[in-house]
Amino acid sequence: MDRGGCQMSGGGGGGPEPAGMITLEDLESFTEDPLSDSGTGSLEDGAETMEEDEQSDRLLQYWQDVARGHQVEVSQEMAQPIQQLTSNNQGRSNREHIPFTLLSRKEKCGELLYEKRHYEKGHWACITMREDTYEQSICYGFMKIMRYICQENSLGNYLGMTLPIVTVVRTDQNHSVISHDVTVAYFLPAEHQATPPQPQDQDITVEVWPATTVYTRPFSGPTNEVVIMNQFNALAEQLDSPSAYVNDSFIVAGYTNPAHINRQNEIWFLERH
């Protein structure tokens, strides 16, 4: 696995099958399952502990089943972070969205073609992975970031979830080859921006990404390599000048589970300075 600087200069990927990150919606779909009911509040402490352990085991098993479809192994050490992330994110209201200023938007017949947004500089925790497939890189990278969010940080506390989780995709100038280096990045919540907790995992870096302007276009569905390149071309067709944006890298922003039928994503182009 490779590690390097991961500022907004390149983005995510996918594999040959519809796949991508394991996200909070994977967990939510699990917790909606009757098997995840926690029982009554009248259980004794020992029974409650057993119930928590059983739920943790079921959550881990669920993640392992989902990940297997991405050719990813989820180890036993992920049980506690999965349980913690689930208990701290019951419902979407607990998730902080990355703030931005909308500069302009272009629509046609009621369809949003693209938006131009300004994001202020901020601290991001990021990791660059180089696995055999894009989806493996994204999944393993997200699990490392997840452990940082949950407890493996200098505070030893849960930091809070922000959306979107972004992946940086790097391509050649012809946009025919995507690099195997995939960066997964997490924007630190507002309360931690001034003094970012440091990761225990040396593969994760906390960096200040500069203020940037992005052109962004929404799309739904999977984020495999074919889809994201089609979305790249679709956004490029809407912009007036190729010289206006960086064209050897782009960002895929994920808001929902890649297996969800209505998965919500965005593709971001960085404005060239």
The H or E element spanning position 126 is strand 122-129
User: 2-11, 62-71, 109-118 — which one is most confidently predicted on average?
Assistant: 109-118
Bridge-based pairing of strands 101-108 and 111-119 is: antiparallel
pLDDT tens for each residue of 66-77: 677 667 777 777
117 beta partners: 102, 214
Higher pLDDT among residues 162 and 70, named by residue: 162
Span 93-103, average pLDDT: 88
The confidence band for 259, taking pLDDT boundaries of 50, 70 and 90, is very low
- Other beta carbons within 10 Å of 62: 22
Task: Cite the beta strand spans of 130-244 per DSSP E.
Answer: 162-163, 165-170, 182-187, 205-209, 212-220
Higher pLDDT among residues 140 and 215, named by residue: 215
CATH number attached to the domain at 95-270: 3.20.80.10
Q: 182, exposed or middle or buried, with CB in 10 Å at 0-12, 13-18, 19+?
A: buried
Cα–Cα distances in angstroms (integers) from residue 228 to residues 145, 171, 221, 268, in the given order: 23, 12, 10, 11
Span 118-136, average pLDDT: 90
236, amino acid identity = A
Residue 206 has pLDDT above 80, yes or no: yes
Give yes or no for a contact between 186 and 122, defined as CB atoms under 8 angstroms apart: no
The confidence band for 8, taking pLDDT boundaries of 50, 70 and 90, is low
Cα–Cα distances in angstroms (integers) from residue 269 to residues 130, 189, 244, 255, in the given order: 22, 23, 9, 17
pLDDT tens for each residue of 15-54: 333 334 455 455 444 444 323 333 334 444 445 555 667 7
Q: 165, exposed or middle or buried, with CB in 10 Å at 0-12, 13-18, 19+?
A: buried
Give yes or no for a contact between 163 and 264, defined as CB atoms under 8 angstroms apart: no
Q: List all residues 6 or more positions away from 122 whose beta carbon is below 8 Å from its beta carbon.
A: 98, 187, 188, 193, 208, 209
Give yes or no for a contact between 164 and 253, defined as CB atoms under 8 angstroms apart: yes
Q: What is the DSSP letter of 199?
A: B
Residue 237 is predicted with a pLDDT of 92
Tell me what the pLDDT averaged over the chain comes to. 77
Rg over CA atoms, the chain: 19
Residue 11 has pLDDT above 50, yes or no: no
Residue 204 has pLDDT above 70, yes or no: yes
